[in-house]
Amino acid sequence: MLFLTLEPSRPLRLWAKSLWYCRMRHVPGVSRPRERVLPNGNLQIIIDLSAGARRRGSATIVVGARMRYEILDPTALDEVLGVELQPGGFPALFGDRADLVFEQTVALDALWRETTVVERLADAATPSEKLAVFDMLLARRLRGGAERSAPVDRAIEYFRRERGTVASCARSVGISERRLSQAFREQVGLPPKSWCRLRRFQSALRVLHSGIEIPWAELALECGYYDQSHFANEFRAFSGIDPTTYSRRRGAWRNHVAVD
């Protein structure tokens, strides 16, 4: 397997976290185990460059923010690239609200009516060149007056710094709770309370994926949960498995877990 990442260029950096490329070598008669893909609250654009996907017209999708895992069959993926968006990236690229694709998978051509995107990526000679072309195409998509939402950025910074409520965050930002929740959903793709829940879940995943042995009760408090029971229930709601199972099956990527 070949996996590469590219830091977005300066024009794109405010709106995209990382561009990535993955190519898998499939041995005839040997299937790869399915994977459980865990939610992190970010939107992605994914482009399947395999000839079969292009023939079917299913090569490009936008994956909205999710609150629950999905099952992925990697044997169907030969050559794929994508971009993980920053909060606010979807409105900047497509001029629409991010919550409109919440927990949805949408054909990219419904949003991006550039008919040569897949062909230009497929024609690039090397994986690095494909990523560079993708970066350029995305940067061209940016709306001329695209600007960060100051209230949402301040809210995200508040939630990263504090373990407060949406109400306390709204007071800190200086707008009403209702207005903050609306702006947050439109820019980020999900409500602020849900985003905070996923952030706690991801904090726990980072510890578990590192292999550090830590009692569940201690891990729960460290990551901002009320108690061990709250942690266990939230973990299962997002992943469909318990932390022990996750630790046993963890692989190279934090948000991908093999399915038995």
Whether residues 201 and 167 fall in one domain: no
- Alpha-carbon gap, residue 159 to 198, rounded angstroms: 12
- Alpha-carbon gap, residue 130 to 123, rounded angstroms: 8
Q: Give the count of domains, the chain.
A: 3
Whether residues 229 and 114 fall in one domain: no
Whether residues 51 and 80 fall in one domain: yes
Residue 30's pLDDT band, with cuts at 50, 70 and 90, is: low
In a domain, 260, yes or no: no
DSSP 21: E
Burial 8-29 (b: 16+ CB within 10 A, else e): beeebebbbbebbbbbeeeeee
As a dihedral over the C-alpha atoms of residue 129, residue 133, residue 139, residue 140, rounded to 10 degrees, the angle is 160
Minimum mean pLDDT among 8-12, 107-111, 113-117, 119-123: which range? 113-117
In a domain, 213, yes or no: yes
Q: What is the mean pLDDT of the chain?
A: 90
Phi/psi for 244 (5° steps) reads -65, -45
Q: Taking each helix axis as running N to C, give the angle between helix 150-161 and helix 192-210, from 0 to 180 degrees, rounded to the nearest 10.
A: 40
In a domain, 259, yes or no: no
CATH of the domain at 226: 1.10.10.60
Which whole number is the average pLDDT over 177-201? 96
Whether residues 59 and 92 fall in one domain: yes
- Alpha-carbon gap, residue 22 to 131, rounded angstroms: 11
Cα-Cα end-to-end distance for the chain: 21
Whether residues 244 and 117 fall in one domain: no
Whether residues 110 and 237 fall in one domain: no
Whether residues 186 and 200 fall in one domain: no
In a domain, 87, yes or no: yes
Residue 105's pLDDT band, with cuts at 50, 70 and 90, is: very high
Give the tens place of pLDDT for each residue, 60-83: 889 999 999 999 887 767 889 999
Which whole number is the average pLDDT over 21-43? 82
Residue 166 has pLDDT above 90, yes or no: yes
Whether residues 211 and 228 fall in one domain: yes
Whether residues 178 and 130 fall in one domain: no
As a dihedral over the C-alpha atoms of residue 123, residue 126, residue 127, residue 131, rounded to 10 degrees, the angle is -60
In a domain, 258, yes or no: no
69: its two tokens: 């895992």
Which whole number is the average pLDDT over 236-252? 93
Whether residues 165 and 225 fall in one domain: no
Whether residues 48 and 116 fall in one domain: yes
Residue-range definition of the domain harbouring residue 40: 2-141
Residue 27 has pLDDT above 60, yes or no: no
**In the prediction, which pLDDT does 76 show?**
65
CB 163 within 8 A of CB 224: yes
Minimum mean pLDDT among 34-43, 70-79, 90-99, 176-185: which range? 70-79
How far, rounded to the nearest angstrom, does the alpha carbon of residue 56 sit from its chain's CA centroid?
Answer: 25
Which whole number is the average pLDDT over 126-145? 90
**In the prediction, which pLDDT does 36 show?**
93
